[in-house]
Amino acid sequence: MTKTVLITGAGSGLGAAFARLYASQGCQVIVADVNATRADETRASILAQGGHATAFEIDITREVDWENLRLALAEQGIVVDLLINNAGVASGGPTLAADMDEWQWMLDVNLLGLVRGCRCFVPDMLTRGQGQIINIASFAGLAGAPGLGSYGVAKAAVVAFSESLRAELASQGVRVSVACPAFFKTRLLDSFRGTPRMLKTAAKLMDEASQTADDIASAIQRAAAKDEFLIIPTAVERRRWWWKRHFPDLYFTQMKKLIARRTG
């Protein structure tokens, strides 16, 4: 039986990488993105390789968009086996300099967007007694970095949300994983809001990253297939996470030095 995978933010970057990967494994892919043109491009690339894909335009901050997507899939007899909540936005700058509009935008997209997705599609998974969710957070949600305050807070909330879901749904046949990648080559900065200095720093880190979106997608897919909960797809960040948990004072000393370099 063909597995159906619904991926938000699948018009570019990590979402498109997930779409290509799962399509190459024989899955039927639902390409969901706020940008209809990009969603169609991802769909076309999958079809050109002999895969199966359908594209939908969706704004994950709108419950009506989620409901319309659910109804459209139901009318076609499509059941979602795996939901990948990938869509997100980025911002950067001093934490208290972010105004309330930015905080609301960040939480509405990066946290509440995936909450809406889960509320929409998990009930059907529970009815069937099976399903899987992969929520895309960020390493910034595990180890807060200077200049990524609102972004890190939203992503930390994604980790907490995923922990609750995993505990609550495990006995009902629905598996939950949360992935925390760091910087890699992607188009996340297309919607960036923040200071020019932070944008330049983030762009530099992405350009210098050795991992591509395809690399990150493959690492997350392999770990999720083994039902790992907290997925940190790169070795450097796994070491950083180990240092923070075991030597928090040393870790925060390094963070203070990083702030001094950026503001010096």
pLDDT digits (tens, 9 = 90+) for 107-148: 999 999 999 999 999 999 999 999 999 999 999 999 877 777
What does DSSP say about strands 52-57 and 82-85: parallel, antiparallel, or unpaired?
unpaired
Catalytic residue among 121, 151, 161, 184: 151
pLDDT at 256: 78
Structure tokens at 263: 């503001």
pLDDT at 252: 82
Exposure class string for 192-216: b at 16+ Cβ within 10 A, else e: bbbbeebbebbeeebeebebebbbb
pLDDT in tens, 217-262: 999 999 999 999 999 999 989 999 999 999 999 888 887 776 666 5
Cα gap 234→37, rounded to integer Å? 31
Q: Which domains are seen in the chain, by residue range?
A: 4-235 (3.40.50.720)
* Average pLDDT value over all residues in the chain: 90
Predicted confidence (pLDDT) at residue 22 exceeds the cutoff of 90: yes
Cα gap 113→210, rounded to integer Å? 29
Predicted confidence (pLDDT) at residue 203 exceeds the cutoff of 70: no
Contact 32, 7 (CB under 8 A): yes
Residue 151 catalytic? yes
pTM of the model: 0.90
- The residues with which 200 forms a beta bridge, in sequence order, are none
Contact 37, 57 (CB under 8 A): no
Exposure class string for 43-52: b at 16+ Cβ within 10 A, else e: bebbeeeebe
Lowest mean pLDDT among 41-45, 51-55, 161-165, 243-247: 243-247
Closest CA relative to residue 30, chosen from 2, 64, 1:
2
Report phi then psi at 186, rounded to 5. Answer: -155, 180
